Amino acid sequence: MDVPVIQQAKIQAQVLVPLVKALQAELGEVRANALVREALGDIYRRYGEEIWRTKNEKNLGKIMASGLATFAREDALDYRVIEQSQDAFEFDVTGCRYAEFYKELGEPELGFLLVCSADFPMAEGFGPDIKFMRTQTIMQGASHCDFRYKRLTETD
């Protein structure tokens, strides 16, 4: 089944939003959110490992550009690539239908928890040689999301 990621996020939200809200009511927001981040983090870390393992490619820029295209399918993201090379991939997301969806739900904080929080553990799955940085997101009210991937040891 080849369901675009934006559609997957919308389907998952139907179950996860009420579940997270119930957990927050029962456990408190901080504890519930930590539990959700931990559980989903394990899933996304494995997903990152799988992406890295199945791409038969050493060029970080090519791997990440392919991954970005997957998340941007169906006009889900507007973005501009800043750098794409063997050892780096940097881009800004300037429009995000994931954020628009969660804003329409009235749940941008849960959108950040359920969608944006996946970026760091997924990058961990790429291995210790890949550093990921992001300092802001549209979901949290910024003008854009700043994604920066760098290989720590340069390749030939």
pLDDT tens readout for residues 70-81: 999 999 999 999
Give the contacts of 124 (CB within 8 A, at least 6 positions apart): 45, 48, 132
Q: How confident is the model at residue 2 (pLDDT cuts 50, 70, 90)?
A: confident
Tokens 């550093």 sit on residue: 131
Report the pLDDT value the prediction gives residue 156, as an integer from 0 to 100. Answer: 61
CA 44 and chain centroid, separation: 9
How far CA 152 is from CA of 30, 68, 85, 89, 129, in Å, comes to: 33, 20, 13, 12, 5
Amino acid at residue number 67 = G
* pLDDT tens digits for range 82-115: 999 999 999 999 999 999 999 999 999 999 999 9
Report the pLDDT value the prediction gives residue 58, as an integer from 0 to 100. Answer: 87
State the Cα–Cα distance between residues 58 and 78, nearest whole angstrom.
26
Helices 29-54 and 60-72: angle between axes, nearest 10 degrees:
120
Beta bridge partners of 95: 78
pTM for the predicted model, two decimal places: 0.92
